[in-house]
Structure formats: structure tokens, C-alpha cells
Structure 1
Amino acid sequence: MGATQLTALRSLSQPVILAGQLYAAQSYVDDIANDYQTDLISIVNQTATTLATNISQLTATEHALFYQQAGQVYRRTGDGQATQLTQTSHKIVSFAPAPDGTKIVFAVLVSDAEAFNTVSDRPQVRHYTKRRYKADGVGFIDEQRHFEVHEATIAGETRRLLTTDLPVQVADTTSERALLIAQTTTEDADELRSALQLLEFGTGDITPIVAEVAEVHEATIAPDRRQVLFIANDAQYPNRRVASLYHFDGEATTIAFDQEELLEGPDSDIVVQNQTRHVRWLDNDTWLFETGFHGHTRVYQGSATTNQLLLDTPQYLQDFAISKGTVILAQQDTAHPSQLLALDLATQATQIVFDANATLQFPRAEKYVFSSEDGSPVDGWFLAAQSEGPAPVVLYVHGGPHGAYGDAFFWEFQRFTEAGYNVVFTNPHGSTTYGQDFINAVVNHYGEQDFRDVIAGLDVALQRFGEYIDANQQIIIGGSYGGFMTTWAIGHTSRFEAAISQRPVTEWLHLTGASDIGYNFVQDEMGANPYTPAGREELIKRSPITYAAQVKTPLLMLHGEYDLRTPIAQTEMYYTAIKTLTDTPVEMVRFPQAWHGVSRNGLPNLRETRLTVMFDWLQKTLA
């Protein structure tokens, strides 16, 4: 079987229904532009027709479709008439249409700052006074920026409703008021906080629904225009608190669901357009929401008194829409990149309504469960090499550490199997979709039970799938936290024949001041203050670079030169240490114009090149 190029894949998201007609956003790689393209498509009899290109944030009311295109918001009716609603030179960060479809409310970022990578004949200096002054994938933050909230009607009238110095998002709106998610602390704060607010159009008054929590993620207004559902997390555990579903009945707020994790699901490397909502109203009394559970996604029907599980299958849901007793699910699993399913709420039966990748076939990963050292179950998956006879095995460690692998499609894993490698991936302690205690287990204990979990998961795979595996050719690969785990592992064991670290953390002291999230992340995750003698001692002990002299495993290091999350110096320092202290083969590959997410949303040519680099290096190293 030949290599499946990234350009062959289609990703579906943001399904919507207007007057019984199904629409969705379909994303793919534009090979000529070396970028990602998202089209608005209509689907009839499992056939898609493109209606508009270069769109994002597709949503709908009973009366029209709404989406962003070329930096502006458009309204499109069922007869195909498209009307531009905004005329702004500023970046629209969010918008929401009123239920009657006659207007939208949108928020813009007003900034004169040059882009992170701007080249000028007469460059200007940058001044900063706040601790958080940069963001990966964005660049430097303009301290003079502000945000505005505007209203735009289909009649062409626009008015400004609010100006604020702190970030604000429009979560939802009615004809009378807008629901806002507003940041309440500056970039100087130890932790960012946000509030959920109602902005009255007539008076301009702002009423808080939730005065301040750690973070509000999304919110939606009921058809009765009084109730609100929202997803948020409190400040109990900074950086790692599980989000819950809250219900505001017009007077008081209660927790509607907190038994499983909201907003969390298995990682996928083919998602281009992010999910718009994880909770939607069915009527004034009931709603649907999704959760992450043990590496896959569940769907529940909820109310003020009950929560009923509707769908629990090995899959990852990218979004969903509701219409007259039917739920349209944008779904993927380990063997299938993306398709739309129809779920009948009465019978709970599902059927495929559109397959964006009908001509492609991929092997399915086999899930297995093993015991951690404390007896708790840990999930693992095995994806067999598409080759004859025993093949090398790759142990792939996910990032985060508060992320998860699972029942989702991973193009990179499929490419490894096509190249003749088995792939083992696990969710060690610290992973999401298993609850707060499982997440907390890694905090202050990086490189302990989590390290032993990933090794145990590989050992179990060697036993269960031994007929497929050449046990003499074991490889460890990981990115971000997975890069930390890779460099940590080769400093503590010599069992691997090869290792590939990507955008790793190798030295915690440097990360504290250099990363866009460094200070808060290191404090919260490592439990050590790098600006005290005791804290420095602890962080040095927890840094993979401390054990560089013990490394005997040949190592390939990959890093993006724009990375502001784990800056490229993390790789440079470790590379230099290996070169200086050992004669172990080590190679560094730098990716220009690449942020931290180069493997998920980086330039398509670099994503393809990245795999070629790894395959070529492994072939040479394992020969």
C-alpha cells in the first residue's frame, strides 16, 4: 500500500441544518497554496456540493446560515443568497447570530502591532511590562490592544456596544441581549480568570451570571431566552481542573453534570476547524452534551433532574447538530478520518449520511487495558504495521501531559504503519478523559508513575501482539510532554534502539521564563518555584538534561523555530549536552516558520517533510 498523503484526507466539522437541508464545513490541504482550505458544503443523497470557500465558524438559526469568510461575517439563506454583514478592518474573534436571523453580535480585536515574523526596512522596538507578553501560534501580545463588541443587522446598520481592554468573546445572543465571556484579570496575574456576563442592548448594562471562575469555555442561551447552559472550570486545580456543565435557570446557577470530563476527547491530527459547541439545547427543558471518557467521546441527554447516556462507542466527535429528533454527528475513529452520522433520538440507531473519505481504507487500532503499579487500569492501543513478518515497534507518547490518545484517527500513526512500523500508544496517569484524580497523579511527579505506565504499556503490547513485533527494535517517540518523556526515558533506560524527541521540555528552569505559559505551568505542574534555591534544586532533578551523560540511545531531535510554548533552546541545550558529554549519535532538525503545533496544524509541506525525515533517519539508524 502506498503512502497516504495529507492532501488525500477530508475533515468534516460544524454540521448545521437549515430548513431540513444539511450543511457542513469540509477541510482539506490546498497543495498549491501550501495551506488548509475549508469549504461550505451542502449534502444531498450522500453527495456534497461546494457553496463557498475559505470559511470558518459555520453556524445557523432557523432562518439562515452564518459564517466568516475573508475576515468578514456573511449570512446565507436557503435559496443561496449571501449577504456580507460586517465591514471591519479588525480581526473578528467571535460572533453569534440572533435566533430570528436578523442580526449578529461580534467581537473584534483592535491592534496596530506588527506580526511576529514581520520583516521591515525600518523595524520598530517592542516594549513590554506584563509577564504574559507572547502566545504560541500568535506571537507577541500588543499591550495597547483593546476589544470591541458590535451589533450588525441585515439591514446594513452597525453600532458599537462595548469597548474593553481585556479579551472578550460573544458566546450567544438574543435580540435583546448578548452573552459574553469576559477575561477579568490582566496578563500580569498569576492565573487568568473569566466571567460570564449578559449585556443589555437597550441600556448597555452588564449583569454577571458567574462573577469569576478560572475559565468559562462556552455558553448558550435557551429558546426561552432566560436559561443558560455553560461549560466552565473553577480554580481548585490551576492548569488541570476538569470542566463541568452548569445550568443557570434565570436566577441561580447549579452544576448540571460533573461526573465525566467535558471539552476533552482523544487527540487527532487532521482537525482543521475546531468544534463550535459541546452542549446544545433540545428545547427549554432538555439538552444534549458530549464528554470525554476513557479515550473516546460520549453523548448524553440532560435536564435539570437527569442525565441519560445516549451514545457510547469507540469514536471521537468533532461536532453535532440537532433537528426534529435527529442528531447529526461529525465523527471519526481510528480507522476512518471523518464522516457524518445521523443519530435517531427515539431509537438511538445511527446511519452514515455522508462519508468524506469513502475511497480510503485504513487499519483499525486494537484497544487493550493493563494495570498500573497501583492497580488502576490504563488504556493502550496497538496499530499493526502494514508489512510482512515481525516489524519494529514505535512507542508514541502524547503531549500535555493533560491530553489523551484514543479512538480517533491519527494520520501520522497510519503513515508509520504504511512505512512498516507497529505503533503503540497509551494514556498514562496524567491523561485526560479519566477524571480529576487520574489527571492529578502526574502533578509534582513527572517521570515517575507516568514513565512506568508507558513502559508497562509497551511491555504488555510486546506480550499480546508479539507475533507482529520485532522486540529487538523498540523505538520511543513523543512531542511536547511526549518529548520530555522521550528524553527522560533515554536518560533512565537503554532498552530503545532509537528515539525521536519533538519540541521537548528538557530543562525546567529555562522553560519557566522562556515559554509563553512557563511561569504558571511550571509552578502548577512541578510544584517548585524556580526562583528559590529549593525550587531550582527540585527542577534540576526533574529535568532530562541532568541525565544527558547517561544517554546511549541514538536520538533525532525535531523543533519548530517559531515555537513559543517550548522554545527551540530546549532542544538546542539537550543536543549540545549529548554532543559534549557522550559519543551517542544525535541529530537536530529545525523547522522554519513552525510553531509548537507543527505536527498538527503546521504548514502541510513541513508535516510531510517531518515524516520523511523521521523515516529516513530510522531506516539509517536501525540498519
Structure 2
Amino acid sequence: MYGITCTYRLFQHIAGLGDFFVSSNKRPISSNDLTNINVMNDPQISRDGEKYAFVRKEIGQDLEYYSHIFIHHYTDDIPIQWTFNKVRDHSPRWSQDGTELAFVSDRSGIDQIWVMSTAGGEPRQRTHLKNGASHPSWSPNGRYILFSTSLRTDESINATEADNAKENEKPKEPVVVNKLRYKSDDKGFRKARRTHLALLDLKTDEVEIITDGNFDHHAADWSPDSRQIVFSANRDEDEDVSNTLDLFIIDIETQDIIKLTDSSGVYSLATWSHDGKKIACIGHELDYKGATLNQVWVIDALSKERTCMTLQWDVQIGDAAIGDIRSGHPNPGPVWSSDQNHLFFMASDHGITGIYQMDRNGEISAVHEETNHVYGFSYHAPLDIFVAGISDPSNPGDFYKINRNEKGKVRLTDINVDFLKDVHLSIPEPVTTKADDGWEIHGWLMRPAMYEEGQRYPLILELHGGPHAMYANTFFHEFQVLAAQGYAVLFTNPRGSHGYGQTFVNACREDYGGKDYSDLMSAVDHVIDTYDFIDENRLGVTGGSYGGFMTNWMIGHSNRFKAAVTQRSISNWTSFYGVSDIGFFFTDWELGAHMFDDPEKLWHHSPLKYVKNINTPLLIMHGENDYRCPIEQGEQLFTALKHLEKPVTFLRFPEANHDLSRTGPPALRIERLNHMIKWFKEYL
């Protein structure tokens, strides 16, 4: 009891909500509260350092997503909204002189670059491209805006939105496929388009594409003299089957391209030093395939000499935390201090994502490391300050100002204060258990929101996807909804998860359903033995993606669970190989086998093989447009269980991809939660 009391006090202090957890007037949180949560991200400090821009995303009464740009002076109590109406505005970026703000908006019907004066007035549309524009970046001299767009080899950069409308009016044509990577879960069918970098000349309004070839180009940064751009791409001849990502420098006048790396790994999020001599980036050399920890690298822009700066630090660089409120928020990559003696970056460790600094000798220390989740930051080098987006289990996220030379942080926003004052939340209690072989497994237990001493409650085990990801000290709406319905919620990071070092994250590869499964069962046994309010005869389990695979696996290997909900799951690795947008390499990376080399191993790790053992009532939820774990995976499992006359229901979500629970259509996200609640209530 001491642990949970201290945790409650900690988050009362962090959130500054006073009697937040003890008011009897609060109501339980519900599925529909998705519409009451404001999501803030992408803080961008102005050039003078006196204010910052950010994006607020919300769900309107019509159950559609909208996002707008806000500006907040540190001296003001509340931010000022700068863009309005039923649009999606995002990616604000300040001009070098601070007089203008560029951003991306779909107000013309498709994402384009817009610019507005910081003195006021209406925004002006600056690109009118057929396939839209995104990721604006001002050149340091203020002459250009660099951005991304997509083109087929036969399309002109000067094609406009009107041309796109005409094309959409044409009869549907067959899609010609001659590449392995012809679809992706986030973009759908590629239609032979590739992502290219382009320049908008602000003096002439001319747009020029600066990359070429049948390749995708990403994550660009300007050199300080505005003459060069560093970007990421796989421009190798075998790029269709290769999973490497290289760094390149392009000269904007000659468009000559220099390759910085040697196709030995995955490098991205590159940033120039202030003197233009060095480039920092995040990446790894695929030593453990997709389970390899990211590192911080520094590359000499002239000699191409590459140095791994964090090799001795057994921590994942970047934000590995999983949640259901925010997704896809920008990662600034490694950021240079004014004197170039330090680099700043995010890293994830034991359920915490924080901001860290590293000096030239590779010495690492924390800038901000608390029991919470830093999901993004902006750094102002001359003033040595950060504006960081931070979430914790009691708060979906707010912005804080951090001075590197001072202790603590200053809260800048309280965007969800009205919502948080109205609802009763359950705050997770950290738990640590021993696996069968002695490994420590870390996780959290949430008590039912209206917990009463002496009562016994059912337990739901939540399983994260990835598997190389991390449950963390962040806000999770789904968990709060289940706690509000009277369930205890257990969520853990079994081996395979990020946050616990390279050996740990690699440990589930070629062993799916082995030690990772026993880790999870050990955690269940631990909380049952430790907390007498848990009813061991009413256990439920749910998870998505890899968590869906594990849900299927668990109920095929144990009858302890009385209800299960599997989401966007994998049931058959042999078919997954050929239908998933990543299947052709993922099965080899994670299971150590190709379908045509060792189909027996793929079948051994397939939950479908054990379907006759499944007696747990199962709800299968799957998005129709899921290309990561295609819906045929759910179909096979449903058909087999129904044919065997087992208790099963199949719920198909139209127009939903693999990210249904995070970024899917709001109405479907709410329905998903309601069906989950209904299923657990019926069987638990």
C-alpha cells in the first residue's frame, strides 16, 4: 500500500491538480471521452526565444479530426489560437527573421504549404502541387522553403491540384505491381509514386524538385550556409529488398549528391553542426536486425568519418513509448548546443522517455529524466532552453519550459484541465517480477478506478505491439476506460521490449511464444499472489499487432483466461510472409526463417496451429485496410474457430488500417472500445 500511496502523491504534485484523485464528484472516464481530450505536439521555439508555436489536435462534434496552430508567449497565461475552421493545420516552422510562419494545411483539399505573417493577417497558400506538400523547412538565408512531395517518374512538379482532380475523375485502372514494396500501411498503394525533396523559391514563387530517381527521400536538414541539404534515402540498386537507409548531401545549385554512409545500416534524423563541419544523426548497423538499439552518430561532412558516440550506453535512443492518444509526433533528432560541445536527444529507459545530453567525449547525463514521457521537444541554442511536450499517467500531455542551467521545469500549459477535473483516473503502480529464468520483468498495475478495500476484481492483461516497443509512464485512454469499468489492468514489458538494453530487446527473436510468453504469465502469477483484490478466476487478455499474436498464442497454450480480445493480430506466419507490407523480411528478422526455406518453423510459431486448444471466448477485431497485419490473418482464425464451434466473434472495421486504435476514424475508435468492454463484461 505504501507504493501506491506514494505514486498517487507523486502525480498529484506533477499534475498540480490538488484533490484530483479524491473528489467524490468525479465521473468514470468513458470511451466517448476521446472527444474531450486535446492532443498537443510539435513545439517550435521562435527565433527570438520569447514564444513558441505548437499544434493542438482535437476530435470535433462531427467525429472528425481537426488541428490548429497556436502561439504562446511565455509571459502569457494561455496560448493564442492562430488558425481556425474545420481544417488540419500542422508542422509550424518559423522563418529565419521570425516575421513569418510556414505550416501544412489541407484547407485547399490536400496538404500544401501555407505561410502567414506573424504580424497578423490571413495565411497564403504557397504550393499548389498535384500530390500535395509536407515537412516545410526554411533555409537559413530565408530564400527557400524545402519540402517533401510525391511524384511518379512521368509526372511534372508543376502539375497542380486541378490536375489531381481531373485524374480522380478518370475510370479506375488496374494497379501495375512490379516491386515488393508496392504498398504500405500508412500510405496504401504507392501507385508508382516516390517521395522527393523540392524547393520553393520565395522570391520567384518557382518550385523545383532537387532529387531524382525511383527512390524515396526523407528527413532533410539545411547546412548553415544554405548551400547544402543532408537527407536520408535508400538509393541502392537493390533498394526494393534492402532495409538500409543512408545519408546523402546534395548541393542545391549543382544538385550533385554525395553519399555519406556505406549502406551498412539505417541512418536518419541528421542535423548539421553550427559551423557546418559535422553532421549528427540517429541510427544503427542492423546488428540485431529490427531489434538493434538506435545510437547517436557524428559524421565529418568532408572526410565522411563516422563515429558512434553512444556505443557504451545500453539505452534506446529516441521515443519507444506506446500510447493510444498520440502517434507520429516529430522527433527532432540529435540537436547541437551553441558551442557544439553537446548534443541533445531523447532516449527511452525502464518506462521513461527523457531528454539527455552528451559531450564530445561521449559522457551522457540527463537534462530531464522524471517518471513521465517526453514525446517531443524544441531547443533554442542561444538561450539554452527547451520547450518539451510531457505526458504522464494522469495527463495526456502539456508543454514545459526547461532551462539547462536550472533545476526543474516550468509548466506552460494546462490544456486538458477541464476534462481532468471532471474524471476519475486510476494511477498505475509499478510492479517488478522474476521470470522463470530469473530475469526481471517490469510493468504496472492499475486498480479499478472506484476501487474499494475488501472487494475482488477481474484482471485484464494488456500486451503491447512491436514487439520492440515499450509501455511507459504515459497517459493511456484504453487502460483508463477499462479501469473505469471495474477491471484491474496489468501491462508489462516482457523480453523483446525496448527500455532494458540490447540483450533484453533481442531476446524474443526466433523465440516468439517462448520466454516472452512465460514472462507475461509470470507477471500474472506475481500480481495474483501479491494483491488479494484480484480474482484469479476472472482473467482477460488483449493486445494488438505483436500483442494480438501473443493474445492468440496465450489462449492456445492456456485456459486460464476467461475472455480475450485480439486486435490487428497475426495468426499464421506462413501467409503473413506474402501479404504483409513487411512480411517478406520481417519473418526472417524476427523468427529466423523464410517461408520457402523453413515453413515448418513459421508454422510452429503460428497461433493457428494450436487453434484446437483454444477454448477462451475470443473477439477478433481487425481493420479492413490493415496492410501491416492484413485482415486475412483475422479471417483465418475466425474461420477455424467457427468451424470448430468455439465461442468467437469477428469485428471488421471499414476504412481502418493498422493504427486504428491511435489514429483511426474517431467513431470507429470509440466503437472498438465499446465492443471490447461489452465482450469482457459478458465473459468476465
TM-score range, shorter chain: over 0.9
Distance in 2 between residues matched to 1:9 and 1:448, nearest whole Å: 38
CA shift, 1:69, in A, is 1.6
Correspondence 1:349 to 2:408: yes
Note the 1:71-90 alignment, pairs <5 A.
Answer: 71-80=111-120, 82-90=123-131
SS state of the match for residue 466, structure 1?
Answer: coil
| CA-atom RMSD in angstroms | 2.2
2:37 matched residue in structure 1:
9
Distance in 2 between residues matched to 1:471 and 1:187, nearest whole Å: 53
Distance in 1 between residues matched to 2:667 and 2:41, nearest whole Å: 23
2:16 matched residue in structure 1:
none
CA shift, 1:186, in A, is 6.1
Q: CA contact under 8 A between 1:85 and 1:153: conserved in structure 2?
A: no
Note the 1:591-610 alignment, pairs <5 A.
Answer: 591-610=653-672
Match for residue 475 of structure 1 among 516, 520, 540? 540
Distance in 2 between residues matched to 1:119 and 1:390, nearest whole Å: 58
Q: CA contact under 8 A between 1:491 and 1:550: conserved in structure 2?
A: yes
Note the 1:450-489 alignment, pairs <5 A.
Answer: 450-467=516-533, 469-489=534-554
Correspondence 1:402 to 2:468: yes
Correspondence 1:315 to 2:363: no
Deviation string 1:378-428 (CA, Å, 9 cap, x unpaired) is 111111112343221100111111111111111111111111111100000
Correspondence 1:524 to 2:575: no
2:80 matched residue in structure 1:
49
Match for residue 22 of structure 1 among 48, 52, 55? 52
CA shift, 1:607, in A, is 0.5
Match for residue 289 of structure 1 among 345, 349, 367? 345
Task: Identify the structure with the greater strand proportion.
Answer: 1
Deviation string 1:7-27 (CA, Å, 9 cap, x unpaired) is 111111111121311221111
CA shift, 1:83, in A, is 4.6
Distance in 1 between residues matched to 2:519 and 2:444, nearest whole Å: 13
Distance in 2 between residues matched to 1:336 and 1:31, nearest whole Å: 22
What letter is aligned with 2:359? S
Number of aligned pairs? Answer: 614
Note the 1:504-543 alignment, pairs <5 A.
Answer: 504-532=569-597, 535-543=598-606
Distance in 2 between residues matched to 1:94 and 1:344, nearest whole Å: 28
Q: CA contact under 8 A between 1:147 and 1:165: conserved in structure 2?
A: no
Q: After the TM superposition, which of the residue ranges 7-16 and 354-363 deviates more from structure 2?
A: 354-363
Match for residue 297 of structure 2 among 235, 246, 251? 246
CA shift, 1:93, in A, is 4.7
Distance in 1 between residues matched to 2:578 and 2:514, nearest whole Å: 25
Correspondence 1:498 to 2:563: yes
Q: TM-score, normalization: structure 1?
A: 0.94
Q: CA contact under 8 A between 2:58 and 2:65: conserved in structure 1?
A: yes
Q: CA contact under 8 A between 2:104 and 2:134: conserved in structure 1?
A: no
What letter is aligned with 1:567? P
Deviation string 1:267-292 (CA, Å, 9 cap, x unpaired) is 01111551241322221332211101
Match for residue 279 of structure 1 among 313, 334, 349? 334
Correspondence 1:131 to 2:180: yes
CA shift, 1:519, in A, is 1.2
Q: CA contact under 8 A between 1:287 and 1:303: conserved in structure 2?
A: yes
1:200 matched residue in structure 2:
251
Q: CA contact under 8 A between 1:397 and 1:477: conserved in structure 2?
A: yes
Structure 1 pair 119–96 and aligned structure 2 pair: CA distance change class (3 A): closer
1:31 matched residue in structure 2:
61
Distance in 2 between residues matched to 1:119 and 1:85, nearest whole Å: 23
CA shift, 1:119, in A, is 9.7
CA shift, 1:187, in A, is 7.3
CA shift, 1:120, in A, is 8.0
Structure 1 pair 447–383 and aligned structure 2 pair: CA distance change class (3 A): same
Deviation string 1:196-233 (CA, Å, 9 cap, x unpaired) is 11111232221222232432231111222222111112
Deviation string 1:144-183 (CA, Å, 9 cap, x unpaired) is x344432223324323333221001251113111112122
Deviation string 1:279-322 (CA, Å, 9 cap, x unpaired) is 22221332211101112112212222132222221111121112
Distance in 1 between residues matched to 2:291 and 2:116, nearest whole Å: 40
SS state of the match for residue 673, structure 2?
Answer: helix
Q: CA contact under 8 A between 2:345 and 2:356: conserved in structure 1?
A: yes
| Unpaired stretches in structure 2, ≥5 consecutive residues | 1-26, 156-162
Deviation string 1:12-53 (CA, Å, 9 cap, x unpaired) is 111112131122111111231x33222111124331221025
Q: CA contact under 8 A between 2:102 and 2:136: conserved in structure 1?
A: no
2:69 matched residue in structure 1:
40
2:14 matched residue in structure 1:
none
Distance in 2 between residues matched to 1:401 and 1:59, nearest whole Å: 34
Structure 1 pair 261–272 and aligned structure 2 pair: CA distance change class (3 A): closer
Q: After the TM superposition, which of the residue ranges 477-486 and 15-24 deviates more from structure 2?
A: 15-24
Match for residue 320 of structure 2 among 265, 279, 290? 265
Q: CA contact under 8 A between 2:143 and 2:201: conserved in structure 1?
A: yes
Distance in 2 between residues matched to 1:40 and 1:119, nearest whole Å: 30
Distance in 2 between residues matched to 1:523 and 1:451, nearest whole Å: 20
Distance in 2 between residues matched to 1:442 and 1:326, nearest whole Å: 40
SS state of the match for residue 223, structure 1?
Answer: coil
1:422 matched residue in structure 2:
488
Q: After the TM superposition, which of the residue ranges 495-504 and 56-65 deviates more from structure 2?
A: 56-65
Q: CA contact under 8 A between 1:11 and 1:272: conserved in structure 2?
A: no
**Matched residues, percent identical?**
27
SS state of the match for residue 359, structure 1?
Answer: helix
Distance in 1 between residues matched to 2:95 and 2:335, nearest whole Å: 13
Correspondence 1:216 to 2:267: yes
CA shift, 1:188, in A, is 6.4
CA shift, 1:517, in A, is 0.6
Distance in 2 between residues matched to 1:216 and 1:35, nearest whole Å: 35
Match for residue 148 of structure 2 among 94, 107, 114? 107
Distance in 1 between residues matched to 2:238 and 2:257, nearest whole Å: 23
1:448 matched residue in structure 2:
514
Note the 1:163-202 alignment, pairs <5 A.
Answer: 163-174=212-223, 175-185=226-236, 189-202=240-253
Match for residue 229 of structure 1 among 280, 283, 301? 280
| Unpaired stretches in structure 1, ≥5 consecutive residues | none
CA shift, 1:124, in A, is 1.4
Match for residue 301 of structure 1 among 329, 333, 357? 357
SS state of the match for residue 52, structure 1?
Answer: coil
What letter is aligned with 1:79? A
What letter is aligned with 2:465? G
Distance in 2 between residues matched to 1:170 and 1:391, nearest whole Å: 48
Q: CA contact under 8 A between 2:219 and 2:269: conserved in structure 1?
A: no
Q: CA contact under 8 A between 2:53 and 2:92: conserved in structure 1?
A: no
What letter is aligned with 1:300? Y
SS state of the match for residue 263, structure 2?
Answer: strand
